[in-house]
Amino acid sequence: MEKMLGVMLDNSRNAVMKPDTIKRFADIIKKMAYNTIMLYIEDTYEIDGHPYFGCFRGRYSKDELKEIDRYCSSIGIELVPCIQTLAHVNSMFKWKNEYADIYDCDDILLVDEAKTYELIEAMVSSVAECFSTRKIHIGMDEAIHVGLGKYKKLHGEKDRFEIIRGHLEKVCEIVKKYDFEPMIWSDMFCKLAFDIDDQFAEADTSKIHEKAKLPENVSLVYWDYYSTDYERYARNIKTNKLFDRKVYFSGGVWTWRGISPDNTYSIETTKVAIRACNDCGVDGIFFTLWGDDGAECSKFSVLPALMYAAELVRGNTDSELIKSKFKDITGYDFDSFMLFDKLIHIGGKHPSTADPSKYLLYNDLFLGTRDYLCSETDSEHYKALSQEILKFAGKDEYGYLFEFYGKLADALSIKCDLGKKIREAYQKKNLEALKELTSACTDLNKKLNELFICFRSNWHYENKPHGFEVQDLRYGGLMQRIKSCGERLCSYLNGDIAEIPELEEPMPESQNGEDWFWRDIVTPNILSH
């Protein structure tokens, strides 16, 4: 049987791809020789008897899932459901009256509660009806505080490995009834079995013998998206194999750092990871396209990294040949898509682990907690990049991506250092400069409105409408805030107010640029409590 070579599509962090979009995606990756799509759906699928499960989240109906499955099967793509049966169900818990009795803590289900397993069986039954595959991914990752919330109050202090192992046994019994072969993320089991805080750390592997074996029918998935260290990958593959079960590897193609993709870093990590997988042996490989913090980045923007990964798996390391194949498949030059990466990789003081195109966009004009990262060359970089990207806007199948990223670079050419310029002019009492910068606020909002309209069009082309309300709030808030700052500058220039207190306060140059979540970028103040 052909080994799995797959792509995991995150449909749980606001952007739920339309069935037709998944079909288009399946078509393109099939040409790249992928054979699997892992459909990640935390609560975005229909369950009989659970009207609140995925409510207003764009959940897939059973008919939609069956339609996607039929199409994927028809072109030789195996569609695998990826659900969560322990943690990562925080959206579900917003319906407190419905699910409070199966809530442990954080985003974790209450283990050893009968109603929990009734829900899990309903989950499994639903996907069993809709998917033709007999593979299922049941999650179980990042349940950091499992057993430490309501569970602890009900049952007292217990060995946490035994809690999660016992839960896994119950879930595996459920999926066995539906003839599924389950796979799980291995991070929690490695952490608890080896008593380590970091699943990527070197462990005392002798400790594995102190722990009970995992269910016979389960496979492990070792995920790692962050390293270019061969030894780390090789060591952790071998560690996962100590559980004496099938081991899959999951790498990351970076769609979740922010607005812009990072094909470059994805390729760097993938080169090393696949070499370790080949040397140590795994039962299959797939690459995750997560959508953390609002799913602002299109899954199609990382086609270069997916192309490169597929070729590396087949042993092709010839960059020029890979680029030639990419052109044959997509109709675009590989390097034209790689222009998107230049929104992130802009040099200077910007951290390599964050997305400047996101934090410079949302960085507040008066509070400016990311101003210290901005250099004199950033504005010119984005201005030139915009012109470079927009050459491909509106052309052929992916022209809409180039239009959006070109407009983003154009807006950033003004926005990136506007707050810094305002602060400097204000502190120098340069009223003429402040007057010009006030006009720049108006010009910027015009560009941001164009950017928003483009983003909205792209979202509705690829995804269901649910979740875009978050982007409405973000872009609307951004433009209103810029308008508000401009109006206060006018009031200061007109003598209606004597000072702007935020600009009087000295700006600390703290190392906070690596926080990539919107809530951490926009304000030091409290958004929710």
For the chain, the average pLDDT equals 95
Grade residue 1 by pLDDT with cuts at 50, 70 and 90.
Answer: low
Grade residue 394 by pLDDT with cuts at 50, 70 and 90.
Answer: confident
Residues 361-380 have a mean pLDDT of 95
Rounded to the nearest angstrom, the gap between the alpha carbon of residue 102 and the centroid of all alpha carbons in its chain is: 27
Grade residue 47 by pLDDT with cuts at 50, 70 and 90.
Answer: very high
pLDDT score recorded for residue 440:
97
Q: Report pTM.
A: 0.96
Beta strand spans in 153-295 (E): 181-185, 219-223, 247-252, 284-289
346-522: CATH, from 3.40.50.2300, 1.20.120.670, 3.40.630.30, 1.10.167.10: 1.20.120.670
CA distances from 47 to 43, 58, 100 (A): 9, 13, 18
Residues 442-456 have a mean pLDDT of 98
Grade residue 206 by pLDDT with cuts at 50, 70 and 90.
Answer: confident
Amino acid letter, 42? E
The answer to whether 249 and 336 have CB atoms below 8 angstroms apart is: no
Grade residue 210 by pLDDT with cuts at 50, 70 and 90.
Answer: low
Residues 404-429 have a mean pLDDT of 98
Instruction: Give CATH for domain 4-337.
Output: 3.20.20.80
Q: Is the pLDDT of residue 452 over 70?
A: yes
pLDDT score recorded for residue 529:
64
3-class state of residue 245 by DSSP: coil
The answer to whether 164 and 104 have CB atoms below 8 angstroms apart is: no
Same fold flag, 4-337 and 346-522: no
**Domain map of the chain by residue range?**
4-337, 346-522
The pair of three-digit structure tokens given for residue 94, joined into one six-digit string: 């917003």
Q: 353 vs 44, which has greater pLDDT?
A: 44
Q: Is the pLDDT of residue 491 over 80?
A: yes
pLDDT in tens, 155-166: 999 989 899 999
Residues 168-187 have a mean pLDDT of 97
pLDDT score recorded for residue 513:
61
Q: What is the DSSP letter of 254?
A: B
pLDDT score recorded for residue 153:
96
Grade residue 477 by pLDDT with cuts at 50, 70 and 90.
Answer: very high
Residues 233-242 have a mean pLDDT of 95
Q: Is the pLDDT of residue 417 over 60?
A: yes
Rounded to the nearest angstrom, the gap between the alpha carbon of residue 265 and the centroid of all alpha carbons in its chain is: 15
pLDDT score recorded for residue 514:
67
Q: Is the pLDDT of residue 107 over 70?
A: yes
Q: 2 vs 236, which has greater pLDDT?
A: 236
Enclosing H/E stretch for 496: none
Q: Is the pLDDT of residue 209 over 80?
A: no
